[in-house]
Amino acid sequence: MRTFKFLTRLAAAAIMLAGACNAGAQDAAYPQGPLTLVVPFAPGGSTDIIGRLIADRLSVALKQPVVVENRAGAGGNIGAMAVAKARPDGRTLLFGTTGILAINEFIYPDLPYKVGKDLVPVAYVSSISNVLIVNNALPVANVSDLIRMAKETPGKMSFGSSGAGASTHLSGELFKSLAGVDIIHVPYKGSSQALVDLMGGQIDMIFDNAPSAVPLVESGKLRALAVTSLQPLAILPGVPTMDQAGVKGYESLSWTGVVVPGATPPAIIDRLNREINLILKDADVQKKLLELGAQATGGTPQAFMQHIDAERAKWGKIVREAGIKAQ
């Protein structure tokens, strides 16, 4: 009996050791070939800008090309679905956003992927303030003027977004609710075309992510009236928060993170998480993100999943109350 127990324990230890060695070998061999980082929006927006920064650094860290592939449409769902169905070998990644990972499930019926199952977290990358920007010709000097104008012309003014359910959309819905105004939502397949139309006067305003909004404000092509964070942005001195501008209690942040297909081996997820966290700790990367109006975050896959769940609870409530549907 003692011999049997000893042999059983020895066999169990051998299995555990083999598993550890196999995971280690898998980690060491990964990746065997180039990677694709799917950015589920059009080029030029904040998700694309930050995604390319991470892709460039990850390529150096993994000693393999990391190709950015823009797959826009359906509020980011087209790109998300492509990654959810990809081979779970760690070579196809999704640069996810607030909308894709925490909001879309409340807007799109029968969404064919589930976050936490078909798409699993790797690393929380950045937290981003949005910026309320307007066309230079719009006759308003501040948020109070904008609210007054909107109330005088209900249903006439419009705001663009990077897609139905995106943080840029819900930032506008939150503004409508707290300011008591009636403005029309115009969704786009990413913020870049929305910004072009804003400069051309086809829409009146947008709550755009800071990384793509700030350069246009600094160049004088558009005007910033407020930021959506609770703290002002150093990169936009003199621009108040929405709360400071009179819309009390207003806060709306966007964020990004890397996720992979659900069956991706834990060893590969851990390797990617380690490399991305090292990238986010780099002083130059942090500086570049701050210059864009974003802040490096990082952390474990588990902490990222907890953040996603908290955001689901917050934005799901707002979507239901506003009656937002896919367009």
At residue 15, the pLDDT reads 42
Q: Looking at the 3D structure of the chain, how many domains does it have?
A: 2
Strand partners, 134: 205, 223
Whether residue 221 sits in one domain with residue 164: yes
Neighbouring residues of 157: CB distance < 8 A, sequence distance ≥ 6: 149, 150, 181, 183, 184, 204, 205
Whether residue 309 sits in one domain with residue 273: yes
At residue 325, the pLDDT reads 79
pLDDT in tens, 178-232: 999 999 999 998 888 999 999 999 999 999 989 889 999 999 999 999 999 999 9
Give yes or no for residue 8 having a pLDDT over 60.
no
pLDDT in tens, 244-301: 999 999 999 889 999 999 999 999 999 999 999 999 999 999 999 988 888 999 999 9
pLDDT in tens, 122-164: 999 999 999 999 999 999 999 999 999 999 999 999 999 988 7
Assigned domain for 25 exists: no
Half-sphere exposure of 251 (CA within 13 A, CB side): 8
- pLDDT-based confidence at 116, cuts 50/70/90? very high
Assigned domain for 9 exists: no
At residue 223, the pLDDT reads 98
Structural domain for 111, as ranges: 35-128+253-322
Whether residue 135 sits in one domain with residue 89: no
Contact 87, 261 (CB under 8 A): yes
Whether residue 106 sits in one domain with residue 178: no
Whether residue 140 sits in one domain with residue 99: no
Assigned domain for 3 exists: no
* Distance from C-alpha of 47 to C-alpha of 210, rounded to nearest angstrom: 10
Contact 298, 282 (CB under 8 A): no
At residue 24, the pLDDT reads 47
Gyration radius (Cα) of the chain, Å: 22
Assigned domain for 14 exists: no
Tokens of 64: 């393999």
In which region does residue 155 sit, left (phi positive, over 0), alpha (psi from -120 to 50) or beta (all else)? Answer: left
Whether residue 67 sits in one domain with residue 136: no
Q: Where is 25: in which H helix or E strand?
A: helix 2-29
For helices 2-29 and 266-281, angle between their N-to-C axes, nearest 10 degrees: 50
At residue 321, the pLDDT reads 82
Kindly state the greatest CA–CA separation across the chain.
90
